[in-house]
Structure 1
């Protein structure tokens, strides 16, 4: 009877085993298709069973639950702690952590392995807080942790960025005798390197002499993670000197360091060692691909990728990213399609790389397809991918789609998404929406981070609003960040407050190249070129190596001050740095040499530029035109047209100036037609140049037409129109244009007031002229210059109030120059005042006027009143000193341009 019962039990076990294996086969786990010793009904051995199936690595909830049921039915769990712990591990690895906890709570007497399985299980499922809690529970119940426990809980503390908790755990480990344990020390090194400082990690590393590869790997990885790649290589050499054999983890970290440093030769040496060791590790092979990609050898990176025996999602992502960094979006998308064909699952990094590849204006179709795939696969819920989507549409130029993507995901309170949307508005010059979004963040209980704050600073044009956000940056401590600080002082600079801009710049502790370049550009662009050059010298004293942006800004300052020698020094410095072949620097050099009048050097630099851009061409055209070489300017412009070079507004403005110098109205008409064809007639700089050209041609009607075509006239456009009215004797129209300009909210500058005072002078508006002169200082804080005072002298002189003019000159806050005395001399000639004219002529002579104009004017005054003896005396004096009056001259048309 007993033998029959035994036989029946064996039969039932056999049937259940068949059911078990059948069920597991359904869920595609062929390694579980048979249970050992089924045929001869040997007793169930849990140790052999779990080890036999461990190699499959296919842990699913269903498989685990079936196995759980079988173990319950056979009463193995109650009697065998190894089976319970193994089943616990299966639940953790199949991401069924709640089932694992329920099973763990049923264990009557859990051992340290049971606790370790739960701690590491929570870590595997990224539930680091739960990992810490289960460790605390273990400690409270009096269980003694081992090195595995300490290592696992230190990993959880590192992920939680809880360095204080990590220190407590490490102290407990040391107390319990684990000071020299490599696994525990490696966990603490990793914690410090990721959350505190590399210095703290090194202190732990050097506490005890170490011959453990795991510790060396942890400190090398920590150095790489903290950007100390050269130090990582130094540690690697020390490790090898200590006769320790590096493993795949070591190779991966070192190859990453070589890639970041773009040290291909060192990387090749490490690669040779990898080949010698016959690594075949997918992460090491991926690091080799990444090395070649970051060193610019993308073809070699693709070759290494194709030779990989195993290609996982990390390696696929690495080669896709390599082509994205090179700017080859088509190849990146091709590899992505191949990845999809072989059935490799993509991750968040893959998706963000592909989105970056599609962030080009001509790839809107591909962008839409990738977006659809993201929605289909459910990646849209990830905040990083959401931010990449917003950024992609922004760079394509589809701000509407960018905002639509943002609205779909903005309920996720992730600062990266908001920062991406704010950056999108900033890049597309939509200041209103950027500021509105910044304000909306506070309503959503979000605190803008450094990326949001720097984006909004970059778009602000109102200094009062900028100061308010400055207060927020001070309150939150963001102002100490170099990117926020740079955006802040650039904002003040754009708003014309250079003093506040420089104050913020000085408060930045760790200034990078961008900060220096931005401040130098701010000084250069706002008429403080001498301070820009001083700041450049200060930067060199800090032993910082300037980049092309800094050199370009410094050369612009040299151009403004006409400092040829300093410009040559900067040129030599750029050549020594190897930046001499940079297009932007070359264009700035052409401009600098042109403005300094050294056109030969300007042309020599221009000829060395391999791909001449519009800036370089425009600079040379402008240089020739401004120095009187009008024909050469026109020939350069003709060459630009023949080579299909991009013609921008600056080029057009320069060539219009050349046409004005030639007084060639037919050429001006042709240029106007060409401008309309390009659609540049509404551009404010082109419109202003057209206006000035027609003014020199004497056509005030065409001036008005050109002004009316400007889309949104700025200060330069309005000033050009006011000056044109003034020069043509239309004082009332000039003053009316000035009042209209003020109504538009545009503040006048010193040049505008020259036009206003000129209009008053030509129309005899003496009292009005004094009112405007006083308004300069009182209303706008502009100190009058020589040209403004000369206009006042002229308006008094034209009105015959010569003694008032003399008194005005004597009471000026600045010493009068030759222009002011020459203006008075001209008025004396008109009104025949010999005595005052003689005084004015003597002052002009004393101040060193180079030509004979003052003596001729005085001679003419004497002739007008019949004092011929004085005329003869002056003429004799001129002959005795060798002075000659140059005859008048004018340009003639040297070339027909009808074939342009």
Structure 2
């Protein structure tokens, strides 16, 4: 009879039929079967499954002979209801426990967001001699991934192998999650390769992990394999691949991928996934729809994003935020504001992400004032919002305002995080505000943030830029963990302080330590080679760049052009310039400057014209380069036309360097009258550099009267400089006026002016050439 009732109860449990279950409960009470612990356990399980916790607790209390299954049933009931306090009380009272008891408690702690406490409970479980099951590992590995505890994840991996659970799909997926979230994709790939039949969770986890470490193309290839193997796809896996496609758009923002097949592959595949999601009937899934929105928005395809948005059956705040971020990324702040107004009109309350996205949109358009108004409208900004507005001022080099905001943030008792500290250290560096940087350093130590690699990198940069390179070296040496950003900061700091040989050797040390260089690493070390005039070492670096696959990166390519042209190999610079798939304004400037410095003015001007024809807008540095080329090659009339076009065609106000270039151009050609007229009109007539340029040209043309006037101005403006004395003496000597030469030298002696010594530079090729590993 008891077994028949047990079977009926199991049917009620399976169908969640509480009415029939209560009828059976009444029958059990009437026939005095309550002494049957097995039936009581089934009743507790039924009430728990049907969310009737009160009946479950009453049944448990009325069970005369409770066994471990009774305790586990009521513990499971508390866990299902999310009652962590009661669950812990039950757990503590249990006369005996098994692995199910521990699994229930660990799982409940995870659901309540207590990942670290869940891991502590797991530690106690193992300490008491209980062997984990696949359920235990699934929960514990999930917690390890959440708190990025890679070491415990590896220990779990070892234990899973020891007890024979390393082939279980739940354990494997848990391990994949830990390794992917911790960025250890090599280990994740090993686990994935050992899975006999990876499921959609396995593929989804791998795609997410590869996308997070910028392995966008590899992640998309993983999706292709998943599709080819006909692994079932759900909305989560489709969302994962869309997120990867969106990341391709993020990287394209920097100009590296717009003309690249991989970028096009991202967009085309994103559109194909869109079609597949419709085919599989997921078009109403809000989570997947938001991923589609995000993919189109981050790739800048706002027309498609608008279409998806308008076709959404249900819209969330996340959907509106993605649209605002998309327009902000494209620099269309007016459209972002329009979306915000539509959002509020439709009854949606903006959240913090909304305001942060609006801040970013204002920044993209350079509208700092609008960004500040947006921030001031926030009633209680969190640390993320504070970081966003402080970053706005820091990025626009309004460092004083950034520091003032940081002080205001502290006065409002908002605790800064690692991002805040790094931003403020950047502002202190930008102002050469060493005392402020030291105060931030002290505050970071107090908040135990100084050991964070992100903060350490900021400290290294701040001390380096403030000229305290030994302090930067000290922080680098004692940092507990050095990531690539710290290495890059230290190398950049050394080269900033003219310690280029040390910087180069540190780069070599980084390579020997198997730390993979980034684009910034290569751009910095190429700058070292350029300053050392070492084309030999520069070519070694170039070879490694090709090997590591960075030759198409616009920043690395620009640094290569700069290195070759500064080392005098203008043809090498031109060869690489012609090969570059993408160029920016800095690349063009480097090449034009290269021609200018090597006396190839016609080619410099031709390249300048090619740049304008390509649609690239020249900046102030472009004009310095092309005017220098005109000056060195005697292209006077062309130089004057280009100088005049700065303001008339491009709205650029000429600076001191531009005036210096054009005055040098006129003076070299002997057109001193035009040069004097320009000097009388310009706002920099009291700058000694302009007079030095004029005096130097007077020597070439033997213009004694103007030379004496220029020298007189220089004696007044820069009395400690030896330059006017030397130039004037050289002019007199070239004309055979030796008495005047003697008078100038006596004047130098009387005023104790010493001529600066000259020097030469040669490249030593007999040095260590084994710079790279692997």
Q: Secondary structure at the match of 2:199?
A: helix
Q: CA deviation at 1:57?
A: 8.6
Structure-to-structure mapping, 1:112-511, within 5 angstroms = 275=92, 287=108, 294-295=115-116, 298=119, 300-301=121-122, 303-304=124-125, 319=140, 321-327=142-148, 362=188, 369-371=198-200, 387=239, 400=269, 403=273, 406-407=277-278, 411-423=282-294, 430-432=299-301, 435-446=302-313, 449-458=316-325, 463=330, 465-477=332-344, 480-511=350-381
Residue 668 to residue 803, structure 1, CA distance change in 2 (3 Å): same
TM-score computed with the length of structure 2 as normaliser:
0.72
Q: Hey, what does 2:207 align to over in structure 1?
A: none
- 1:468-487 deviation line (CA, Å, top 9, x unaligned): 13311222136842212212
Is 2:536 the counterpart of 1:666?
A: yes
- 1:46-67 deviation line (CA, Å, top 9, x unaligned): 965786699959999xxxxxxx
Q: CA deviation at 1:580?
A: 0.6
Q: CA deviation at 1:578?
A: 0.9
Residue 57 to residue 847, structure 1, CA distance change in 2 (3 Å): farther
For the 8 Å contact 1:591–1:620, the answer to whether it is kept is yes
For the 8 Å contact 1:548–1:584, the answer to whether it is kept is yes
Residue 633 to residue 23, structure 1, CA distance change in 2 (3 Å): closer
**2:556 and 2:290 mapped to 1: Cα distance?**
36
CA RMSD of aligned residues (A): 5.1
Residue 563 to residue 789, structure 1, CA distance change in 2 (3 Å): farther
For the 8 Å contact 1:438–1:452, the answer to whether it is kept is no
Q: CA deviation at 1:701?
A: 0.6
**1:367 and 1:705 mapped to 2: Cα distance?**
50
For the 8 Å contact 1:652–1:686, the answer to whether it is kept is yes
For the 8 Å contact 1:613–1:646, the answer to whether it is kept is no
Q: Secondary structure at the match of 1:578?
A: coil
- 1:655-706 deviation line (CA, Å, top 9, x unaligned): 2222223323322333322332223232222222222222122221111012
Q: CA deviation at 1:393?
A: 9.5
Q: Structure 1: give runs of 5+ residues left out of the alignment.
A: 1-17, 32-43, 61-91, 96-120, 125-147, 149-246, 257-269
Residue 438 to residue 533, structure 1, CA distance change in 2 (3 Å): same
Q: Which has the larger radius of gyration?
A: 1
Q: CA deviation at 1:746?
A: 3.0
**2:244 and 2:568 mapped to 1: Cα distance?**
51
Residue 410 to residue 497, structure 1, CA distance change in 2 (3 Å): farther
Residue 626 to residue 385, structure 1, CA distance change in 2 (3 Å): closer
**2:12 and 2:375 mapped to 1: Cα distance?**
66
Q: Hey, what does 2:769 align to over in structure 1?
A: 898
Q: CA deviation at 1:296?
A: 6.1
Q: Hey, what does 1:734 align to over in structure 2?
A: 604
Say which of 494, 508, 514 aligns to 1:624.
Answer: 494
Please identify, of 623-632 and 481-490, the stretch whose mean Cα deviation from structure 2 is larger: 623-632
Q: Secondary structure at the match of 2:557?
A: helix
- 1:370-418 deviation line (CA, Å, top 9, x unaligned): 328999xxx9998778757866998999975993774455644233222
Say which of 539, 542, 559 aligns to 2:412.
Answer: 542
Q: Higher relative contact order by CA 8 Å / sep ≥ 6: 1 or 2? A: 2
**1:703 and 1:381 mapped to 2: Cα distance?**
49
Q: Hey, what does 1:41 align to over in structure 2?
A: none
**1:528 and 1:30 mapped to 2: Cα distance?**
69
**2:614 and 2:481 mapped to 1: Cα distance?**
42
Q: Structure 2: give runs of 5+ residues left out of the alignment.
A: 14-22, 55-76, 205-225, 249-261
Count of paired positions: 669
- 1:524-547 deviation line (CA, Å, top 9, x unaligned): 344444443343333333332221
Q: Hey, what does 1:523 align to over in structure 2?
A: 393
Q: CA deviation at 1:726?
A: 1.8
Q: CA deviation at 1:630?
A: 3.0
**1:352 and 1:459 mapped to 2: Cα distance?**
33
Q: Secondary structure at the match of 2:724?
A: helix
- 1:293-340 deviation line (CA, Å, top 9, x unaligned): 53366253354499899x9999997545323314457889999999xx
Q: Secondary structure at the match of 1:369?
A: coil
For the 8 Å contact 1:305–1:319, the answer to whether it is kept is no
**1:636 and 1:656 mapped to 2: Cα distance?**
13
Residue 49 to residue 537, structure 1, CA distance change in 2 (3 Å): closer
